[in-house]
Amino acid sequence: MGKLIYENAVKVDFEDRALAHLQLVITTKLRRREGFHFTWKDDATIGNGRTSVWVHPEASLVFKYYGSRPPRLNHAWLEALVAAANSPAGLYLVPEPAPLAESHEISELVTTDG
């Protein structure tokens, strides 16, 4: 289980694997100086609602992983997350799809505008 900390105030837990995918998508958008909404479903312990934050290049973000090894990235999941992040609704954690063929490169995904 990992943790995303936004502006040193909002803290949300994600599985390390999901957090690694989110981190790549978020940092790619921020390197391009693109702001976007990021929305997630809250845990039942805090009411089962949802939280949405405006992520922008000046925002303070911490990605805290509790596992010691980086997970293998699923390029199909990255593409689905990028599509969500580029939509008017903004980024949200979509279900992980089946992996794409191994020929896809992560660099292709993060360098294409979409």
For residues 38 and 85, what is the distance between their CA atoms, to the nearest angstrom?
8
* Span 37-86, pLDDT tens digits: 999 998 888 888 999 999 999 999 999 999 888 889 999 999 999 999 99
Residue 37 neighbours by CB under 8 Å, 6+ apart = 52, 53, 54, 55, 89, 90, 91
Phi and psi of 39, rounded to 5°? -125, 140
Q: In whole angstroms, what separates CA 81 from the centre of its chain?
A: 7
Residue 16 scores a pLDDT above 90 = yes
% pLDDT > 70, the chain? 88
Residue 80 CB: number of other CB atoms within 10 A? 18
Tell me, what's the pLDDT at 101?
Answer: 67
Pairing of strands 2-6, 10-14: antiparallel
Local confidence band at 103 (pLDDT 50, 70, 90 cut-offs) = very low
Per-residue pLDDT, averaged over 20-36, amounts to 97
